[in-house]
Amino acid sequence: MSEPQTLFVPSQDQVKVAVHDYGGSGHPTLFVHGTGLVSRMWEPIINKLGPDFRAICVDLRAHGATTNPSNVSFFDHRMVADLTSVVDAFDLQDAWVVGHSMGGATSILTSLERPGAFKRAWVYEPIIFERKEDRPEGAFDFVEATKHRRSVFPSRQDALDRYGSRPPLNEIHPDCLETYVRHGFIDQPDGSVQLACDPLLESRAFEQFLQEGWDRLPLVEIAVRVAYGGAGSDRPSTAAAGIAERLPLGSLEVFEGSDHFGCFASLEQVSDSLRDWFIAT
């Protein structure tokens, strides 16, 4: 596919949100990434969707090509502010939005900040959890693990080989994984590559973003398809049915045999699901 036009949209906290616009006459459709990932890894799926979609990929703060201060905050729905800034910059009305994990949650909550901007949303395992207690034992162990994620590799090929050979990223289709590695790392002077999303910022995003959202789901007015991996046993997978039920216009779709990265596992299955949700219904 052709290279997108990349522009930078000002947001809160001196953040400049990188937006990759693929152009065309199709319906404006935002694609948003999960924590630690990049929006352009949707490209192999976008390529299969065809001209009905005008893809606009958005890198939220601390991710991808977006620039921000090193002490950037994620409190008070700052990522929602980032996506809202893009909505305003493009003057979106009745757009479609696609989001994975944290990007799915951000997409849903942005619809509340800008009524009318989105007509429909397709989200895969959005990170919106019911908080029955302040910090359920063991529920957020992954946050601590994220802090110790390896951030530097000798080369992109080394990173690709490592990610593709072990869980959880080996679930991702090779084309999407290669795109993630290509755009999710920064070249270093010594020839090595470093993650664009610092693991400490990634963990901070988890800690600060997972504060609220559940109570606001009944206020969402747009139709939302909540997809999830049928093979998943962690909270992002098990919470999906409750999220869909809590949304006034929510519906549920299971990707049998998939886990948290199932929206990047089968290009055909995901592109078919998107076309069915946005065009056929």
pLDDT digits (tens, 9 = 90+) for 209-260: 655 688 999 999 999 999 999 998 888 888 899 999 999 999 999 999 999 9
Sign of torsion over alpha carbons 212, 218, 221, 224 = positive
Predicted local confidence at residue 203, as pLDDT: 78
In angstroms, the CA 56 to CA 85 distance is 13
pLDDT > 90? residue 84: yes
pLDDT digits (tens, 9 = 90+) for 153-181: 999 999 999 999 999 999 999 999 999 99
Radius of gyration of the chain, Cα coordinates, nearest whole angstrom: 17
The dotted CATH code for 5-132+209-280 is 3.40.50.1820
In angstroms, the CA 95 to CA 28 distance is 5
Q: Where are the domains of the chain?
A: 5-132+209-280
